[in-house]
Amino acid sequence: MQEEKPEIKKRLSWAGLQRLLSLLKFMWPKRWAFFGGLGALAVSSLGTLAFPMLLGDLLDAANPDASLAKINQIALILLVIFAINAVFSYFRIYLFAIVTQFMLARLRQTTYDQLIRLPMAFFSERRVGELNSRITADIAVLQETFTFTIAQFIRQLIIIIGGISLLTLISYKLTLFMLAFVPLVAVGARIFGKKVRNLSKDAQSQLATSNVIVEETLQGINNVKAFNNENYETTRYFNATNEVIQIALKGAKWRALFISLIVFSLFTSIVGVIWFGVYLVNQGAGISSGDLFKFILYTLFIGASISGMADLYSQVQKAIGATDSLLDILEEPTELELKGDCVEKTQLQGNVSFNKVFFSYPSRPELKVLKGISFDVKTGQKVALVGASGAGKTTITALLFRFYEPDSGSILLDGIPANQINLNCLRRQMAIVPQEVLLFGGTIYENIAYGNTRAAENEIIEAARKANALEFINSFPDGFQTIVGERGVQLSGGQKQRIAIARAILRDPKILVLDEATSALDTASESMVQAALNELMKGRTAIIIAHRLSTIREADRILVIDQGRIVESGSHEELLARDNGKYLALQQLAV
């Protein structure tokens, strides 16, 4: 199993910040709340800065010469400031929550809408777990950033700048003495903080690897149990999570050293400021006990803000990495951006033509899957594709649906190049019954209706009847409202196949693709469904992929595919009449 790619470490840069701030466009409809939150943040921060100043004045009033009225006045002003601070703190948190929740919902919706419109080549090179984490883990990081980090960053910045300005007004000598400690703390924070951040990223990356193991195991739980590999998977997961523990404990050691350094430096600087301040008071340098108290409180505020900036810096770094991942997806060209406008009146007749088509999958460009495939299918014809596994049969249908574009050659529909027909118009008139049926976790009714979400209930019931699925559906206590379970686990293979056929019948397509459509049915069900499919295929172009050759005897033409080439073409009888032919060999193997 492929391992999770290690996380790319992002440096904090102006370009990275610009990309992060570009996400603010998603909050623009709620800009009133954003600017209101900024205003509330500014007021609450300034109110916090007023607290030490007034508290120092209150301390200076603690002498026999001070009037009681002045003491009461200062105390009253403090209470008013506390009340204002509380009110504006409430509005700051609530308004930023409005902005963030709306913004992240829009971002999730946009990312999901973008993902499902990307070409198949994009998905062939990426894992489902990786893409899912973009919408969950990365946006969760951004939620923390926009809900808390940015507000705190602005708040700490106001406190640091405002605090240092007020300190200078109180005593420039004491301010210079206090600031002399900052470079020492900053250098230590830089060294320890970088190590802690790197270890945190390593722990996140290893945790992502363990999450991939869980996801892959649960997705393939049938295989795990069939091969009796519960112990193997448990060992794999234990090893991965134990590695997380080791990295996390190593990070905890460095984080403990980092915090110890900050605490030691902070208290050392406070003691130093108090010592120098007392010295200045004793020397009569124009500073009172109240001023010294103000200075100490402002120093504590500034020290706490500076120490908190390291965590905020780390959070912004993570947010920039998450932003890059999301924007990489949002900047990918979608299928609907590639070619053509949708003309609602575009109606296909069902003529299909492949002309010297060569193709290799984007993940394996050196391996040609199709090598000059050419054939024509007229409206209403049934053409079967047969051949060994890996010959290129399913790839032909993937190109017909334009899941991929051919490397060279052309595919024409009614004489029009397929890449000039808008995908909405093209796929709206096509349907597929795949070999591996994927049902969604809802009801049987919802899964059949997926073929045409605008269909009426009677049309859905009729589609089920034509697919010979009505009998087993009605046998369930909940009928059409029966929950099929994750990936249809509550249904048998044959039942899932018939629901997929009903979905295709409801689609009423011009071009129908049957990829081993009856492979999971028993003999009795197969004959009934085959009759329904024969009725459905009348007047429609049908391309049938089959290993069970008995199901394609009535096809108008059979194409034998071998190693990406058409090696034989003709009816069932014509191909059997050829001595030493590929089709004859396949028929003999099937007997």
Residue 411 has pLDDT above 90, yes or no: yes
Could you say which DSSP state residue 9 is in? P
Domain at 352-590, CATH homologous superfamily? P-loop containing nucleotide triphosphate hydrolases (3.40.50.300)
Q: What is the mean pLDDT of residues 554-565?
A: 89
- Pair of tokens at residue 214: 């869980």
Predicted pLDDT of residue 339: 47
Q: Are 495 and 487 in contact (CB under 8 A)?
A: no
Residues 6+ apart with CB under 8 A from 520: 437, 493, 494, 496, 497
Least confident of 220-234, 346-360, 461-475: 220-234
Residue 42 phi, psi dihedral angles, 5° rounding? -65, -45
- Among the listed residues 538, 492, 540, 486, the one whose alpha carbon sits nearest the alpha carbon of residue 513: 540
Q: Which of the listed ranges 163-177, 250-264, 502-516 does the model predict with the highest average pLDDT? A: 502-516
Domain 10-170+318-338, CATH among 3.50.50.60, 3.40.50.800, 3.10.180.10, 1.20.1560.10: 1.20.1560.10
Q: What does pTM read for this prediction?
A: 0.67
* Cα–Cα distance, 434 to 448 (Å, whole number): 14
- Among the listed residues 363, 357, 359, the one whose alpha carbon sits nearest the alpha carbon of residue 122: 363
> Which 3 state secondary structure label does DSSP give 541?
strand
Q: Which of 22-31, 64-73, 92-101, 302-311 has the highest mean pLDDT?
A: 92-101
pLDDT of 349 over the 60 cut: yes
Cα 73 from Cα 348, distance rounded (Å): 85
How many Cα atoms within 13 Å fall on the side-chain side of residue 188? 19
Q: How far apart are CA 151 and CA 37, in angstroms?
A: 9
Rank 13-22, 196-205, 496-505 by mean pLDDT and report only the highest.
496-505
Residue 461 — very low, low, confident or very high, per pLDDT cuts 50/70/90?
very high
10-170+318-338 and 352-590 share one fold? no
In degrees and rounded to multiples of 5, residue 343 shows phi and psi of -105, 115
Query: Where are the chain's structural domains?
Result: 10-170+318-338, 172-286, 352-590
Say what the pLDDT of residue 186 is: 63
